[in-house]
Amino acid sequence: MATALIIEQLKETFKSGDRDSVQTLILQQFQLSKYPFIYLLDLIDQTHEYSSYNGTLSNFILHTFSRWQDEFYKVYQTLFDSHTQNRIFFLLVQAPVTSLDIIIKIFHIENDYIVHCIKSQLLCQDIKYNNHNIKNAVKIISHLKIQNYFTVREIILPLIINNRDHLIELYLSEDKEQQKLFFQTLDHLCYHKGNMKDILMNDYHIPSNIVALLNKRQIVKLAVRYLNIYAIDNVDQYPNLSILQRKRTLGYLINVKYSQDKTMSEDCWNELVQEIVENNIALSDCLIEMLCDRDDLNAVKYWMIKLERSQQSLSHWVQKYLYTKPQNTVEQTSSNSTLTIDYYKLSIPINKIYFVDNTENYNRLLDKLWSSNDLIIGFDCEWKPMFNNSRTSKQRISIMQLAFQDEIYLLDLLNYFHTCNETQLMEKLANRLFDDENVTLVCYSFQSDARMLIASYPIFEKALVSSSTLLDMSIVQNDLLRENSSIFPYLSNNNNNNSNNTKEKGLSELIKLIFGQPVYKGEQCSNWEQRPLRLAQILYASIDAACLLDAYNFFVKQSLSPDFLRSYRGRKPKRLQANITRQIDENYTNNQILQTEPRQENLSINQNDTVSSLRPSQVKFVADNMLHGLGRELRVCGCDCIILDDDAAHTDAIKYAKADNRIILSRGGPYNLLRSNTVEGRCYCPPDLSAKKQCENVINHFNIKVLPEDIFSRCTICNGDEFDIVDGKEIRALFYKHYNYKPEDTDEPELLNYSSQIIDMNQMKLIKTGVTLILTGLTSRNLPSYSEYYICIKCGRVYWQGTHWRRRRLKHIEILHDNEDDDMIQFVDDSKEEYFDAMENTQT
């Protein structure tokens, strides 16, 4: 039959879902074919599937061929002519990632050959790559992990120049060596004294016409972004990138300094800039030039002295600027504007502010904290800003402020509490502050504080999950503005006309509404890690906490009943819960990384293998009753998983967790409840996906390595892992008995009166354990096919190893080891029904 006709027939049958017939048809064709390899290529060509990247039928054909090759053909390596070789490579290039391995296996293609073909057919010298080619090259290279066969100029540089974001990530994924090369290349391109175009032409031999088209800004942006994506700790190993990053920060700070509303004090600004510039000449040049740009002669002179720069050492145009600017026109204009605004002042004398970085003050604080059974405390935290890195994991809370009626305590978390090893004391403190019925903590928009607290000091996790002491003034403020705004003495009706009123935001706005004066924010972004803190910083920190208590007292005095404020206690602002759980998850992941990642700089390339993974037998779960599907999937993978009954209480999960050291899986409200009662990291909320994808997620999250022998090693119905293997005739005899077969109904009439040592034929029970067998899914059609059956000795469910069992085993392994690949997941979903049934026994 002509190939085209065959394909038509295959497509029809494939669509109807009858995989067995498709398989039979394909196998016949291979058997008849004189040149099966060529015939296979023809078949795949004719499907025309790979042009649209949907290779479902092709994939099926390839797998069928491979099985046939293994079982009957047994020919692996042949000498193909160059035309056929080209066809094979073309197939590889076109195929979705999911089919690469099987194609390589069938045609026995060596890495060297693939590398050769990629270099000669997909890559080219002038670096202006065809999008399709470079994409296919990266797809194959990263899948086979053969990056080290290629030079920077062949792949990395073109990807940078062409700004191919997702390809860069695919290419560099998990390969520390390539990441290093990537950053080295960027660092070289961004040489701070050099011209990027010259570097490309001279050092990388990129033709000048290509270089001319280049967007330098884009490359710089790319560099900055990737430093963040890969969270490069030590940017100093790439000196040019480090300068680049710090120049951007300087630019940002310059904008802050000369913006309309001065949000940063002079001292604070100077400190930050000093730290960024350090003694780097390039950066000090950059700073001085930026200041000249703003025509701020005072600042230029100040920094020239501070950075010890002589006029002669500066660039020509700066020298010219200094020369032409008339000296005597300079006026003292700066910093006056801040004095004209009347800011909110501290009502507690300065000698009542205690900086807690020693035992004496710490004990004083403890006395204070337990001095009364009705404590109202103003609360706030400060940390040093990070301009380059958005990752909270690198930031630390430095100061925590507690304002009482007559005293203020500034806790030096960074230095004193961090070194203080008394975890019990810390825990006691955490519980008193965040989870104690005698304490009310008056705070403002606690969400970010909470996240940062947990990131810095995981010991706060448990108390913060409860957060029962919180009284968040931002909620009170919103409600009152909406429902009872007349309570604010300084709420002016002409808000829109008066720009001074609209400028304040958040806490400062609240204080202004109550007391008529805003809170000075100039020190907010200052260097909170320096010791000693400046007086301005100490005052700022104190006011931030104390004004909250003042606001609280104001509302009490306004005869808002105590119950009114109390009703806000424990009410969580938006996103607080989400922030807390997200950060706890992040802590958990970071911990995992710390524990499993070798501390050396050079990680081996096979990173996946060095991370210590768990076997399914080493981990136990209990799934909450909304996660039935997930629980069953985990059992398929061989994981011990208890599934809560529909009418069970969610808290039953805790009992199982404690009894057996199980990890709890739950979602939504119950998850929050369960998590707060569990040790960190032992309660997990899988994403809202299909059961199968949730299972993949859980397997990955806990780094469980599932091997073929694990699949179906557990009963999905009852979680049992002990099976009795019985001969096929035992089950057939039972089946005949059960359905009252007559001798003429079967080829095995002798089985109608079969007496078994294992099964009680009359009662349908396993003699050994007395459990009743469940035959669901067995039919007269599939019955004769199997020579043995598996009986779960706990619940009596009968299983058999159908083709689906095998196929599912295969699929499962593929998903679990290659799940970052979208194509693969897509494919598996497409053909879901075909391998789902063996265990569910839905065959007919």
Q: Which residues bind Zn ion (CB under 5 A)?
A: 715, 717-718, 720, 792, 794-795, 797
Nearer to Zn ion, 731 or 815 (CB): 731
Query: Cβ of residue 774: shortest distance to Zn ion, in angstroms?
Result: 9
Q: How far apart are alpha carbons 528 and 273 in whole angstroms? A: 14
Give whichever of 65 and 799 is closer to Zn ion, judged by the CB atom. Answer: 799
Cβ at position 97, least distance to Zn ion in Å: 37
Parallel, antiparallel, or unpaired for β 397-403 and 408-412?
A: antiparallel
Q: How far apart are CA 754 and CA 306, in angstroms?
A: 101
681 versus 720: smaller Cβ distance to Zn ion? 720
Smallest distance, Zn ion to C-beta of residue 3, A: 48
The least CB distance from residue 793 to Zn ion, in Å, is 8
The two beta strands, 788-792 and 798-799, are: antiparallel
Q: Which is nearer to Zn ion, 404 or 800 (CB)?
A: 800
Query: Whose structure tokens read 């006709």?
Result: 5
Virtual torsion, Cα 416, 422, 426, 428, nearest 10 deg: -140
CB neighbourhood size of 528 (10 A):
22
Structure tokens at 218: 């884009």
How far apart are CB 51 and Zn ion at their closest, in Å?
Answer: 47
**158: preceding bond cis by omega (within 30 degrees):** no
CB nearer to Zn ion: pick between 206 and 798: 798
Specify the residue, 700 or 772, whose C-beta has the smaller distance to Zn ion. 772
Q: Measured between alpha carbons, how far is residue 564 from residues 78, 569, 572 in Å?
A: 85, 10, 16
* Phi, psi (degrees; rounded to nearest 5) at 375: -95, 130
Give the separation between CA 346 and CA 348, rounded to whole angstroms: 6
Least Å from the CB of residue 799 to Zn ion: 9
Angle, alpha carbons 36-42-44 (nearest 5°): 105
Query: At its nearest, how many Å lie between Zn ion and the CB of residue 468?
Result: 43
| Closer CB to Zn ion, 684 or 712, in the complex | 712
**Beta carbon of residue 723, minimum distance to Zn ion (angstroms, whole number):** 9
- Are residues 682 and 657 in contact, defined by beta-carbon separation less than 8 angstroms? yes
**Which tokens is 601 given?**
């700089």
Nearest 5°: phi and psi at 675? -60, -40
C-alpha closest to that of 461 among 591, 580, 572: 580
Nearer to Zn ion, 510 or 778 (CB): 778
Q: Rounded to the nearest whole angstrom, what is the least distance from the CB of residue 229 to Zn ion in the complex?
A: 46
- Nearest of 466, 514, 506 to residue 486 by alpha carbon: 514
Residues ≥6 apart with Cβ < 8 Å to 35? none
DSSP-H helix ranges across 754-840? 803-817, 822-830, 832-840
DSSP state of 797: B
* DSSP secondary structure string for all residues of 207-233: -HHHHHT--HHHHHHHHHHHHHHTT-S
Nearest distance from C-beta of residue 714 to Zn ion, angstroms: 8
CB of 657 to Zn ion, least distance (A): 22
To the nearest whole angstrom, how small is the minimum distance from the Cβ of residue 795 to Zn ion?
Answer: 3
Q: Using an 8 Å Cβ cutoff, are 384 and 541 in contact?
A: no
Residue 200 or 838: the one with the smaller Cβ distance to Zn ion is 838
From residue 417, alpha-carbon distances to 425, 642, 746 in Å are: 10, 41, 81
C-beta of 100 vs 711, nearer to Zn ion: 711
Q: Which is nearer to Zn ion, 196 or 718 (CB)?
A: 718
Angle at 80 between CA 79 and CA 86, to 5 degrees: 145
Instruction: For residue 571, report the phi and psi dihedrals to the nearest 5 degrees.
Output: -80, 125
Angle separating helix axes 506-515 and 535-557, nearest 10 degrees: 60
What is the rounded distance in angstroms from the CA atom of residue 443 to the CA atom of residue 547? 10
Name which of 617, 621, 620 is nearest 685 in CA terms: 621
**87 or 797: CB nearest Zn ion:** 797
Quote the Cα angle for 733-735-741, to 5°.
Answer: 85
Query: What does each C-alpha distance from 60 to 1, 26, 57, 701, 827 come to in angstroms?
Result: 20, 10, 5, 31, 11
CB of 632 to Zn ion, least distance (A): 12
- Cβ 794 to Zn ion, closest distance in Å? 5
Q: What is the separation of C-alpha 246 from the centre of its chain, rounded to a whole number of angstroms?
A: 27
Least distance from Zn ion to the Cβ atom of residue 790, Å:
10
Smaller CB distance to Zn ion: residue 248 or 794?
794
| Identity of the residue, 150 or 790, whose beta carbon is nearer to Zn ion in the bound complex | 790
CB of 755 to Zn ion, least distance (A): 26
CB of 230 to Zn ion, least distance (A): 47
Cβ 720 to Zn ion shortest distance, Å: 4
Burial class (CB in 10 A: 0-12, 13-18, 19+), 110: exposed
The nearer residue to Zn ion, 632 or 675, going by C-beta atoms, is 632
Nearer to Zn ion, 427 or 721 (CB): 721
Q: 377 - beta bridge partners?
A: 441
Nearer to Zn ion, 752 or 795 (CB): 795
Q: Of 144 and 795, which has the nearer Cβ to Zn ion?
A: 795
3-class secondary-structure state, position 440 = strand
Report the distance separating Cα 98 and Cα 810, nearest Å: 13
Q: In the chain, what is the straight-line distance between the N-terminal and C-terminal CA atoms, in Å?
A: 32
